Amino acid sequence: MDPATTIDPATGQPLPPDAIVRVLHITPKVHIYTLPPSSPSSSTYLASSWTSLPQNPIFTSRLRILETSLSPETTELKVDILLESTTSSSDNNGQPQLFAAAPYTTPAIVTPCSDSSRFFALRVSDPGTGKKATLGVGFEERSDAFDFNLALQECGKSLGFGGQQQPEREKKEKTEEKKDWSLKEGETITINLGGKFGRRNQGQGGEKKEEEEGGGGKSLNSFALPPPPGNGGGGFSLPPPPPSASEARRQKRLSAQQMGFDDGVNGEFA
């Protein structure tokens, strides 16, 4: 085998030359438990039923989450959860020995326990025989369990599952063809005002007649504003118009006579 060939840690098989492997999460030490026969195959798990067994934990391992990009051109991804030995082995070219692998192909591969946030049920599989088994995984620190769960959520976004599916309504909106509701040239729309306003139509002879619609037969004339209130109604009145020129001269003569002046014969004081 070519020394430059990259080996898939989950399967032991060589990867494509352009494959890219990323470590998304690593916990140096987790405890692995065997599940009692009465445990369900899915849905609810209780960590207390594992820790009470005298044979548990069965071993301690390192946990890693690997994301492998098989082909950059097609963006094909796969994610594996690995349970490995905590020390390197001379029989494995100085690499940690693989105890079990869980290809993360569905969210059901990892199920949180209902009684503790530090414990998970992990469904592992043998890549050679295809046999599957469910093991219990326990973290010593809640922060490590939180980071593990967060890394799985990020993987779910990349793989398109793990609670990241788009709602059906959004899927339908994206798949439906976008419709153009704008008015084309020459198109018109008609708005029905419910018979509250009058409408004028063009008659056959070219004359316009007013057609009243709605209950009560009201037209636009019925919406004329009332006249302003008079002085008796508490409103305001406009000032009188200014006097004309002849009226101004007459008032001036009256004012001069009241002050004792005479207009004179020729009206020079006018």
pLDDT tens digits for range 164-191: 444 444 444 454 455 566 666 777 767 6
Burial 67-76 (b: 16+ CB within 10 A, else e): bbbbeeeeee
Say what the pTM is. Answer: 0.57
Gap between the Cα atoms of 173 and 171, Å rounded: 5
Mean pLDDT is lowest, of 94-108, 112-126, 170-184, for 170-184
pLDDT at 69: 86
Gap between the Cα atoms of 257 and 251, Å rounded: 10
Q: Tell me what the mean pLDDT of segment 214-227 comes to.
A: 53
pLDDT at 168: 42
How do residues 229-239 score in pLDDT, each as one tens digit? 655 555 555 66
Residue 30 pLDDT exceeds 60 = yes
Q: Looking at per-residue confidence, does 151 or 208 come out higher?
A: 151
- What's the pLDDT band for 12 if we cut at 50, 70, 90? confident
Gap between the Cα atoms of 85 and 96, Å rounded: 5
Query: How far from the centroid of its chain's Cα atoms is residue 223's Cα?
Result: 48
Q: Looking at per-residue confidence, does 20 or 93 come out higher?
A: 20
Which pair of tokens denotes residue 255? 């004012």
- What's the pLDDT band for 109 if we cut at 50, 70, 90? very high
Residue 228 pLDDT exceeds 70 = no
Residue 44 main-chain phi, psi, to 5 deg: -100, 135
Q: How far apart are the first and last CA of the chain?
A: 133
pLDDT at 117: 94
The rounded mean pLDDT for the chain is 74
pLDDT at 166: 44
